[in-house]
């Protein structure tokens, strides 16, 4: 059984908490390796056709998500802190077709073992508006559901 919570700390912050039925090392791997990220990154019914990651402190990432109607959106950032297997901190910004970046936020993903399960706390801030935060809440909530659906079967004993 999965517990989920999305909390609006204020208009400028978003926190999502989930309990995943998978070990913490596996969940960390799903966040840190592009071949895994491409399987769950993006909202429901989206794909992740491109994911480039230099997964180290100071390393950059650039990935795209494609909507069911074929529209692509690119996101870019840098990893500012990595503590395996419990913490990943990275900047996040949308990038337009001219390579210009939108407002930057900071994402912190904290993982903690709960036996063979993992508590995931996702935090993103600051947002320019409540509407921007809510848009990200919807997308990230669906993304976390996809992550859960991806890692839980992998975490079961064979």
Q: Return d(Cα 35, Cα 32) in angstroms, integer.
A: 9
Digit-coded pLDDT (tens) for 65-79? 999 999 999 999 999
End-to-end CA distance of the chain: 19
Between CA 112 and CA 22 the distance in angstroms is 11
What is residue 156's predicted lDDT score, i.e. its pLDDT? 80
Question: Alpha-carbon distance 139 to 42, whole Å?
Answer: 7
Please give the pLDDT value at position 54: 98
User: Which superfamily, per CATH, for 4-155?
Assistant: START domain (3.30.530.20)
CA dist., res. 82 & res. 12, Å (int): 24
Q: What confidence score (pLDDT) does residue 10 get?
A: 73
* For range 91-108, the mean pLDDT: 96
DSSP string, 58-108: T-EEEEEEE-TTS-EEEEEEEEEEEETTTEEEEEEEEE-TTS-B---EEEE
User: So what's the pLDDT on residue 5?
Assistant: 52
Rounded alpha-carbon distances, angstroms, from residue 76 to 65, 72, 94: 12, 13, 6
Q: What is the pLDDT of residues 15-65, one digit of tens each?
A: 999 999 999 999 999 999 999 999 999 999 999 999 999 999 999 999 999
Kindly report the CA angle at 18 between 142 and 86, in degrees rounded to 5? 115
Q: Phi, psi at residue 56, to the nearest 5°?
A: -160, 160
Other residues' Cβ atoms within 10 Å of the Cβ of residue 8: 14
Q: Average pLDDT for residues 149-154, to the nearest whole number?
A: 94
> What pLDDT does residue 141 have?
95
Query: Is residue 3 predicted with pLDDT exceeding 60?
Result: no
């Amino acid at each position: 059984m999965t517990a989920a919570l999305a909390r609006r700390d204020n208009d400028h912050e978003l926190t999502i908490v989930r309990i995943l039925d998978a070990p913490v090392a596996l969940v960390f791997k799903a966040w840190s390796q592009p071949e895994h990220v491409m399987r769950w990154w993006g909202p429901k019914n989206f794909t992740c056709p491109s994911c480039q990651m230099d997964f180290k402190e100071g390393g950059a990432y650039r990935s795209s998500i494609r909507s069911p109607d074929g529209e692509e959106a690119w996101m870019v950032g840098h990893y500012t802190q990595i503590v395996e297997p419990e913490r990943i901190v990275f900047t996040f910004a949308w990038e337009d077709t001219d390579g210009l970046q939108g407002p930057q936020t900071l994402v912190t993903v904290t993982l903690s073992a709960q036996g063979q399960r993992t508590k995931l706390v996702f935090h993103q801030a600051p947002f320019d508006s409540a509407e921007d935060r809510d848009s990200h809440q919807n997308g990230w909530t669906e993304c976390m559901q996809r992550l859960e659906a991806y890692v839980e079967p992998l975490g079961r004993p064979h």
